[in-house]
Structure 1
């Protein structure tokens, strides 16, 4: 009888894009102890974005410590969009979960993402990324928590996202055939564009506040210079996306608005000169809006990854 048939298991591919990071071991070990709901099967896809398959031996050495199947994919080179697309191309499950190769997942990470997906029926679910600062990080940076990641709501709606903690429903119409832009694979912003266009195609994005992952902040990123460059690039990406739908007078209106916001934020930063957290928060926001102006003028995003992020294996 039909009613006696066993329910088909839910299959989840966990995608980990990697590029010369020794922290990959800790990422995989954190996935090894995930709480997996009954009736759920997990597979891990590791996409190695190096020119040579430098992560292959590391993955092979970790297989005995991880209770899930690990699919290793070599997808050169030095372009994160290539790696993300390789994960999507090799995924066969009902869902694809993305986590970065320098992050560690909380035990309930996957369960919390799945619960929110089931509860809301959303096409994508985002979780928070909590930054873990080194001792050399300035006090204002730790107090203001400038590196942690959470979604931004606009009129109660999440309109874009990120891949450092996300779950995608593979059969959602808004995700059919969707891939990450190769032109943005070295600058960053490819995930912002991906989720923005998914949302414009009717995809809904939800947030699972308890689906937590942790990300250590390297010394090289615990600087105002790195934050400045990142915020400007984020603004460039947003400006370029606005440019797609802003033509003629609409473009100049958007430029004037972004310039006004930038000026306001810089003025507020000066006003709060004696308060480092507020000063830097307004200053960085002003830099982001300046990046929006740059993007609206058609300036391509600065390259922040690839060669700049290289580290020895």
Structure 2
């Protein structure tokens, strides 16, 4: 049996050699042959040269160009070249257990699912310099921040709506097609949604173990999740449904805050412009008060919730993280929410994506 590993990458000079080493050291059954296809998004930081050297020393590794430079085009190019019966996607910024690929294969053989994978486990670097990254990872893992996504539950075994990375029998792509190349983000969620709508199954196994290293700055988390939020409405428009309710909540919350702010400013402006005896001045003042009251109430409720969640997370992950967690949680929620609102506007009104969101952030 042959297994094909597929990897999209771009500008990963600091990580690519360690990644290749970890893949080469995967523990596989004796009857399994391995091939690795890496789609390089036209890197210009030395990644291509390192990959060329590695491929020259290990014939199992192959590099192909990914002129599209985004994940979906890279994955599809790898799939087109892959010759394996079973296809496993890996990410350069993740560390894998030595039996990761073997467990993917065993889970598929045991369940017959159309896509299998393990839980999404985030971890930050140890030491003082990694405090923010550990806070980002701890918030990422919290069900209160992620909306209860099962893919973040490290102990869950069973069917899920989406799974981290993924591993598929070749028949899955023959039946459901490849990844949507119009999506810069959320191409995996869209593909999993397509599998579900087509009657397929996605299975998560806690025995498939890996560790993901998230962004290490709050600004980068905000930018990343703003992009995630932006592309989600295009997935929803394509399929006419949300993958899960949790994908809608951040956008609705931010929209409510913006509506209250607009009412407050509009009411205040109108009341200021109207003479004191004007019939509509009282209504304008009432509108301003309504907006201000709503804005204060929503902000107070959210602030209290963030304080409580930050306290709960820091008790388990480390009290030194508390000072960063409120900002990190807000970066997740407001980034995703603001991105969602702009995404809905472009998906439903402009009917096309903004080119500014066409470049991957890292």
TM-score clears 0.5: yes
Q: How does 1:110-121 map to 2 (within 5 A)?
A: 110-121=101-112
Match of residue 9 from structure 2: 18
1:200 aligns with 2:194: no
* Count, aligned residues: 284
Q: How does 1:269-280 map to 2 (within 5 A)?
A: 269-272=302-305, 274=307, 277=310, 279=326, 280=328
3-state SS of 2:104 partner: helix
TM, length-normalised to structure 2: 0.65
CA distance in 2, matches of 1:32, 1:63: 11
Q: Per the alignment, do residues 260 and 212 of structure 1 end up closer, same or farther by CA in structure 2, a change over 3 Å counting?
A: same
1:127 aligns with 2:118: yes
Match of residue 138 from structure 2: 145
Out of 10, 14, 26, the residue aligned to residue 34 of structure 1 is: 26
Q: How does 1:1-313 map to 2 (within 5 A)?
A: 10-22=1-13, 23-50=15-42, 55-63=47-55, 66=58, 69-134=60-125, 135-138=128-131, 141-142=134-135, 145-147=138-140, 151=151, 157-163=159-165, 166-172=166-172, 175-176=174-175, 178-185=177-184, 188-217=185-214, 221-246=215-240, 260-262=252-254, 268-272=301-305, 274=307, 277=310, 279=326, 280-281=328-329, 284-285=332-333, 287-299=335-347, 300=353, 303=357, 305-306=359-360, 308-309=361-362
What is the Cα deviation at residue 19 of structure 1? 1.2
TM, length-normalised to structure 1: 0.74
> Comparing both structures, which one devotes a greater share of its residues to helix?
2
CA distance in 2, matches of 1:269, 1:157: 32
What is the Cα deviation at residue 114 of structure 1? 1.2
CA distance in 2, matches of 1:27, 1:237: 28
What is the Cα deviation at residue 50 of structure 1? 0.6
**Contact 2:119/2:209 (CA < 8 Å) preserved in 1?**
yes
**Contact 1:126/1:151 (CA < 8 Å) preserved in 2?**
no
What is the Cα deviation at residue 282 of structure 1? 6.5
For structure 2, the 5+ residue unaligned runs are 142-148, 258-297, 312-325, 348-352
CA distance in 2, matches of 1:223, 1:59: 28
Aligned CA-pair RMSD: 3.7
> Residues 201-253 of structure 1, C-alpha deviation per residue, up to 9 Å, x if partnerless?
22211112122223334xxx312222222223323333332233549xx9xxx
For structure 1, the 5+ residue unaligned runs are 1-9
CA distance in 2, matches of 1:286, 1:74: 35
**Contact 2:12/2:45 (CA < 8 Å) preserved in 1?**
no
**Contact 2:228/2:336 (CA < 8 Å) preserved in 1?**
yes
> Residues 254-306 of structure 1, C-alpha deviation per residue, up to 9 Å, x if partnerless?
99976555559865431145457264547633553454444333353762744
CA distance in 1, matches of 2:76, 2:135: 34
